[in-house]
Amino acid sequence: MTTNKKPNLAAVETSTPEVIKAVDVNQIECADVFGDLSQFRDTAAEAVEAVKRTLNRVPLMKAQGGGQKAGSFVRVHPTFELTGVGLVRDPREGGESHLVMKAMVKPLAKWLEAIDLHVAITREGFGQGHWPVHLWPVPATACDKTGKPNPHFQTHRLIVQHAKMYWLRMINGGRQYEEELPEKPEKLPTIDWAQMPWTFADILAKAFPPSTHVIANDQHPLAAYLFGRE
């Protein structure tokens, strides 16, 4: 799976707003919704009971076209992750994703995307004492909506686990994702995750402000729009 540098391969840009949800944790909305992560963790599987097809694909990781610059080298936090969560994308202009609480997973099942959320940082800016924090969405399972193993999902999930151990860049190798390693890994910074100044709940609260981007009940504006009440 590990490859040498392949400049002609389409690379996955991991720092644009379309790719990973960037987090500015210097300004965080105060709320208790992220105090109990069991309201989100492993809830998306319930959507399978409500619809006949499973929505596993999450089109947040975009492969770049030939000639465009490669994505950033990335590291993933070893424990800051939220698995099996449901996201619903606003179909209107902007397409922002909203985190779904357990009570709304089944009602929103046909719009729901099942993913794992991982906290990641990119190399850019880290050396200057800044923590360039992102949330990296990954398919919640290795199978497509038919239940068949999907090579892109399988390798995506595996590469994220590798990024917990060393710097890498994820690239689109055609049939599957591949990882590209730095030519001189000793030149990249060593990470002491204990020095990160924010909690996982802080990061989630900034990425998904509870008052606007967490769907807790059917009165949420996006739920009302999807149900045809607005």
Domain ranges of the chain: 2-226
- For residue 137, the cross-strand partners are 117
C-alpha 195, offset from chain centre: 22
As a whole number of Å, the CA-based R_g of the chain is: 18
Length of the chain as a residue count: 230
- State the pLDDT at residue 127: 64
- State the pLDDT at residue 126: 78
- State the pLDDT at residue 121: 87
Query: What tokens does 196 get?
Result: 């990160």
Q: Which residues of the chain have pLDDT under 70?
A: 1-31, 47-70, 127-129
CA distances from 83 to 62, 86, 141 (A): 21, 9, 10
Dist. CA 156–CA 229, nearest whole Å: 37
**In this predicted model, what pLDDT tens digit does every residue of 69-90 receive, in sequence order?**
357 899 999 999 999 999 999 9
CB of 159 closer than 8 Å to CB of 144: no
Percent of the chain whose predicted confidence (pLDDT) is above 90: 46
- State the pLDDT at residue 6: 42
- State the pLDDT at residue 203: 87
